[in-house]
Amino acid sequence: MPARRDCGVNVADCLFCKIVAGKVPAKIVKQSADALAFRDIDAKAPVHLLVIPKRHVPAVRDAKGGDGERLLGALLAFAASVASDEGLDPDGYRIVTNTGRNAGQSVDHLHLHVLGGRKLSWPPG
């Protein structure tokens, strides 16, 4: 029986877990022991990357406790380093994570969008 998380997604069926496992191809730009950065398949800006934890966490609200907080901090710092590698400093970039249906989260594996390379409007829609 495959592991099932609170989001109801079988980890074995999770798209981003499959990318981590190399079962679904992706344009990977950087990785660490805990995180992976790859290009979004439907880029909304000249640079649009997704930064994910290698272990399955459904959304930011599920990263609880000391280990969850450590993971979130590491993920954010990793996203900033990837943005810098992509040449998005000093002009700027946006890091955003959609959580739940109202925000339009479509993949139930925590991911940070890193967007840059153009002027980004505010507020988002």
- The strands making up 35-39's β-sheet, listed across from edge to edge, are 28-31, 35-39, 47-53, 112-116, 93-96
Contact with Zn ion (CB under 5 A): which of 26, 45, 109, 110? Answer: 109
Contact, 36 vs 52, CB < 8 A?
Answer: yes
3-state secondary structure of 21: helix
50 binds Zn ion (CB under 5 A): no
Active-site residue flag, 56: no
Decide: is 14 part of the binding site for Zn ion (CB under 5 A). yes
The partner in contact with residue 25, picked from ligand 5GP, Zn ion, none with C-beta cut-offs of 5 to 8 angstroms by kind, is none
Contact of residue 102 among Zn ion, ligand 5GP, none (CB under 5-8 Å per partner type):
none
Contacts of residue 94, Cβ cutoff 8 Å, sequence gap at least 6: 113, 114, 115, 116, 120
Q: Which is nearer to ligand 5GP, 45 or 65 (CB)?
A: 45
- Per partner kind, with CB cut-offs from 5 to 8 A, the member of Zn ion, ligand 5GP, none near residue 56 is Zn ion
Residues 6+ apart with CB under 8 A from 4: 10, 11
Q: Is 111 in the site for Zn ion (CB under 5 A)?
A: no
Q: Which residues are known to be catalytic?
A: 111
